[in-house]
Amino acid sequence: MRKTAISLALALLLVLALAPGAWALALEPLPDPGYGAGAPLVYSCTDVTCSVGDTAIISVTAQSPDGGNLSFQWYRSLDGTNMSGSMILTATGINYMADTSQEGTYYYFCAVTNTTAYGSNTVISTPIAVRVVKPVIEGIGVLTLPLKTQYKEGERLVTDGLSVRVYTSQGSYDVTGGLECSPATLSTPGTQTITVRYENKTCTFTVEVESAREEVQSISVLTPPTKTSYTVGDRLDTTGLTLRVVTNKQIQDVTEGFSCTPVILGSAGRQTIKVLYGVQSTSFEVTVEERATATPMPTATPAPTATAAPGVEASATPAPSATPHSSSHQSHTTSAGSAVLQIVLVLALLALVGLGAYVFLVQRKNKK
């Protein structure tokens, strides 16, 4: 009777071993019942194909032939077989969630141990392949906006908090890394559109940009003044002076709106002229020459003074006066005219005296 039971048990084990999916490698020979733990019956799941980032769960099923306790330990295959592998310490159940973070094919197997009061027996499952493929991306869309969506003109974009949903032929998944956003610097006041690129697919979102006040950052002399040579005391002439002005918004060339110092050039030599535009400054140089000195007029030498002889009163000899440049005819005419005038005046005076005497005599006669 006992031999018949043993034969039936062995026949049943043989049938189960030949069933599909039940291939396994026993680590030690199957012991006779009653002399040790029986080898567990182990079945592996089919291979798994999934996309990067998908969830891939692999599993084994096992049965104890003698009611023993089953334990599981998963390994990652090093060569695609179940002959060598690295132990996954935390994987001790009938299921294991395989890593799908990178594209490629990875292999796993599980060691199933049946433990009884008579000992233990371990069977290694056939390898399970997990193929992680890169899905075909059909499109992307913004899932969550960045934490910062309000900016001032000229600030750089901050993408913290941005996530994108990727739509593929096999489903969808969400990503927060590997995103390219443009423009990186926000230079357009108002509502500005930001383009997000992932695996050659794009989507957009918008941010608000506040206009910034224009500020001068630097200035330089683009062309110097037309006049650069002066004489001491001259006034600076800035005609032709052009400045290149760089602001936080633009680069422009200006010919007015600046001031220069000094305005009056008071020292000879190379002189630096400082140019002010807003709070920025630059400079250029001019040449200043000494002013020419006037030649002094010669001083007249006084005429010698005559010395009187002893006992004779000295008289000053007048210096010869300058004779007007005129002809001798004009001199004679002037002298003759003066003599006639003097005679006329004398005659008129005598007539008046005579008239006065006559009037006096007549008045005196009348009184008598």
- Could you write out the DSSP letters of every residue in 210-242? EPPPP-EEEEEEEE--S--EEETTPBP--TT-E
Q: Where in the chain is the domain with CATH 2.60.40.10?
A: 2-133
Residue of 74, 173, 166, 167 lying closest to 125 (CA atoms) = 74
The DSSP secondary-structure symbol of 200 reads: T
Strands 190-198 and 180-182: antiparallel
What pLDDT score does 71 carry?
96
Q: Which residues of 108-120 are buried (b: 16+ CB within 10 A; e: fewer)?
A: bbbbbbbbbeeeb
- The DSSP H or E segment spanning 191 is strand 190-198
Token pair belonging to 179: 């995103």
251 Cβ partners below 8 Å, 6+ apart? 244, 245
What pLDDT score does 363 carry?
76
Gap between the Cα atoms of 208 and 153, Å rounded? 9
pLDDT, one tens digit for every residue, the chain (368 residues): 455 555 555 555 444 444 443 334 444 444 445 568 999 999 999 999 988 888 999 999 999 999 999 999 999 999 999 999 999 999 999 999 999 999 999 999 999 999 999 999 999 999 999 999 888 889 999 999 999 999 998 899 999 999 999 998 778 889 999 999 999 999 889 999 999 999 899 999 999 999 888 889 899 999 999 999 999 989 999 999 999 999 877 899 999 999 999 999 988 999 999 999 988 999 999 999 998 876 566 665 555 554 444 444 444 444 444 444 444 444 444 455 677 788 888 888 888 887 877 777 777 777 65
Cα 102–chain centre separation: 37
Q: Where in the chain is the domain with CATH 2.60.40.3630?
A: 137-210, 216-289
Cβ(30)–Cβ(14) below 8 Å: no
In DSSP notation, 245-265 reads: EEESS-EEEESSS-EEE-SB-
Gap between the Cα atoms of 234 and 275, Å rounded? 18
Collapsing DSSP states into helix, strand and coil, what is residue 277?
strand
Report CA-CA distances (Å) from 62 to 19, 125, 130, 165.
13, 10, 21, 39
Gap between the Cα atoms of 335 and 347, Å rounded? 19
What pLDDT score does 346 carry?
81
φ, ψ of residue 15 to 5 degrees: the values are -65, -45
The DSSP secondary-structure symbol of 198 reads: E
User: CATH number of 137-210: 3.30.450.90, 2.60.40.3630, 3.40.50.11900, 1.20.120.330?
Assistant: 2.60.40.3630
Token pair belonging to 235: 């006034």
Question: Where does 2-133 sit in CATH, by number?
Answer: 2.60.40.10
Residue of 136, 142, 144, 151 lying closest to 197 (CA atoms) = 142
What pLDDT score does 303 carry?
53
φ, ψ of residue 76 to 5 degrees: the values are -100, 125
Cβ(68)–Cβ(38) below 8 Å: yes
216-289: CATH class: mainly beta
Collapsing DSSP states into helix, strand and coil, what is residue 6?
helix
What pLDDT score does 358 carry?
79
Gap between the Cα atoms of 168 and 174, Å rounded? 11
Token pair belonging to 358: 């006559």
As a whole number of Å, the end-to-end CA separation of the chain is 225
What pLDDT score does 51 carry?
83
Paired residues of 260 in beta bridges: 275
Gap between the Cα atoms of 95 and 55, Å rounded? 12
Q: Quick one: 26 exposed, middle or buried, by C-beta within 10 A (0-12, 13-18, 19+)? A: middle
Of how many residues is the chain composed? 368
Residue 164: Cβ within 10 Å count: 22
Residue 196: Cβ within 10 Å count: 19
